Chains A and B, each alone.
Chain A
């Protein structure tokens, strides 16, 4: 009956609005997350502290150092004079890499076979791997420049161009700004965690307080109870999506190239999955604490496996398979595509179907477990 449903919805809304803590959580937390992840979480590796042992100390070696200074990747922070010195710097974490220029560098350069060596701190794999590729890049391009200069000096050719070159075009995110990558992810993360947690605790709270017993013994149907309890949180989740999109777009300059209504519809689909997870957790947990922990335990691994921070393609096959049952994985693809690529629903067919399947399954399972009884 409509009236029963409306009265449950009204009651939930009143409870939420008069609970300042929950309201703050719902409205403010996404903003905090956004700023935190938008600024602090960057996968761009820059300004790696570099120690240099220049055993040559000639204009040529200084020219090489200039090439290093020119790129953003390294900061030349220390000039050392011995292995012991740089060992200490690496152990203390003050330097992450060491460039060693041998004593005969300038002579070897003229003869065409100079070699410099690099010691890298591998304990931070991200930094290490970036530094590794960066150093090759810098040295190669410097070497090419030297070759061209030498050829020009010896008059061999007006200029020598390297035989193979690559011209790159980065679509959608030309500057590879990590904020563009992070923020859609934040939308997904907030939606999944907040809605699941709030739903789970809202239902369990009735059980904890004892109000559920009164509610059971009324003509209200189980589906009315479920829908009535969930609807307010759906509404609030949409408010959050809206918030995040606004801040993301106007503050972080994340583009919104896709169709807004599609964004909202598909976010709604994802919200239903998260609500389903929350509802399911509420049928397992007996206290609010248990409910929160159950949701956390389910959500945290999902976030790691969803492709938010780490690319799924880089994971072992087994985990890649597991990621197929995580709705966030599909939603991330969708939201990133909608915001950055501006594609239509057709391109996202597979993901949409996956989300629908998941939502139906989880809601069915949760509803089946949800009983209007105390046992």
Chain B
């Protein structure tokens, strides 16, 4: 039933002159779900998100947020969502509090509500002490947090985040995700009004659509969609996606790495060799893993290299990402 999807995008298409930026994208996300959209630069993630929030008009296809069509009932749809754009920027001349007050009021918070809510949300993201600082004087990580706060201040049912942690330091990135998890696991963990019952009902939890280039973040999503050339070419839970490459990824440790790499690449059943820190991940043709495990170490030693270990491992999302990026279509 379409009512249970808070984000419903059906067969969206968008052209920019000749470029088919979004090519038949369908996304259906339920309340309480964190959905990660991954893909290389130019794959169409930002355009897709902009279509969903209504900042762009699709050339064909439909989209609705909480049942409101984003083209025909745009303002109603907007009232349900919080959005953090990739190019997020603030009003630099305004203070943190003034910025968030602006977004709170513009999104519908009443004059007696905005102050407590703003302070609450600033506390939630850890910016309470900076409320009177000019936004232009915040560090990158703090700006992103302020952006998140502005998106959350009205307690929207749907949150759309476009690469919210790019350019942000690792510590802040962790903080950010902690906030997101708190957000989706309980209704904002904030003192709710007496009207709302504490139902452990999914339907009142926040749905999040987040696009990210970081695989560790993708791994924390309930479902991940992989985009390439404007299409979602693979979709599923992280486990499902990893299962695509089950029994096909080998980890090779030894030295020298250059030699190992060279020999491995020559092997006809090895599709791809990547460095992963101090070791190599080999992607092999289906069902050929054992074959490679048996013959490769000898070949390496034959060329003068040393092999510490070569075995089948569970694939990580990165492996899947790379495979999907390079896949050629028949």
Task: Give A264 Cβ to nearest chain B Cβ, in Å.
Answer: 30
Interface residues of A in 38-84 (CB under 8 A from B): none
Q: Does A375 touch B at the CB level, under 8 Å?
A: yes
- Please name the residue on chain B nearest to A16 by beta carbon: B93
Task: Give B138 Cβ to nearest chain A Cβ, in Å.
Answer: 15
Q: Does B252 touch A at the CB level, under 8 Å?
A: no
Q: Does B322 touch A at the CB level, under 8 Å?
A: no
Task: Give A26 Cβ to nearest chain B Cβ, in Å.
Answer: 16
Q: Does A85 touch B at the CB level, under 8 Å?
A: no
Q: A14-B98, A213-B87, A214-B103 are in contact. Are A3 and B110 (CB under 8 A)?
A: yes
Of the candidates B57, B106, B111, B150, the one whose C-beta lies within 8 Å of that of A219 is B106
Contacts of A347 in B (CB 8 A): none
Bound-state CA distance A209–B78 (Å) is 21
- Please name the residue on chain B nearest to A17 by beta carbon: B93
Task: Give A2 Cβ to nearest chain B Cβ, in Å.
Answer: 10
Contacts of B267 in A (CB 8 A): none
- Please name the residue on chain B nearest to A213 by beta carbon: B85
Interface residues of B in 197-241 (CB under 8 A from A): none
Interface residues of A in 348-375 (CB under 8 A from B): 372-375
Which segment of B47-55, B186-194, B272-280 sits at the interface? B47-55
Contacts of B93 in A (CB 8 A): 14-15, 18-19
Bound-state CA distance A15–B150 (Å) is 18
Task: Give A20 Cβ to nearest chain B Cβ, in Å.
Answer: 11
Task: Give B287 Cβ to nearest chain A Cβ, in Å.
Answer: 48
Q: Does B105 touch A at the CB level, under 8 Å?
A: yes
Q: Does B79 touch A at the CB level, under 8 Å?
A: yes
Q: Does A215 touch B at the CB level, under 8 Å?
A: yes
Q: Does A216 touch B at the CB level, under 8 Å?
A: yes
* A3 and B57 contacting across the interface, CB-CB below 8 Å: no
Q: Does A221 touch B at the CB level, under 8 Å?
A: yes
Q: Does B88 touch A at the CB level, under 8 Å?
A: yes
Bound-state CA distance A211–B143 (Å) is 13
* B57 and A7 contacting across the interface, CB-CB below 8 Å: no
* A374 and B105 contacting across the interface, CB-CB below 8 Å: no
Bound-state CA distance A241–B76 (Å) is 41
* A8 and B106 contacting across the interface, CB-CB below 8 Å: yes
Subset of 14 A-B contacts with CB under 8 Å:
A14-B93, A14-B94, A210-B87, A211-B91, A213-B55, A214-B85, A217-B81, A219-B75, A219-B78, A219-B106, A221-B75, A373-B55, A373-B57, A374-B50
Q: Given A217-B54, A217-B55, A373-B54, list of 4 further CB < 8 A pairs?
A: A7-B105, A15-B91, A209-B89, A217-B78
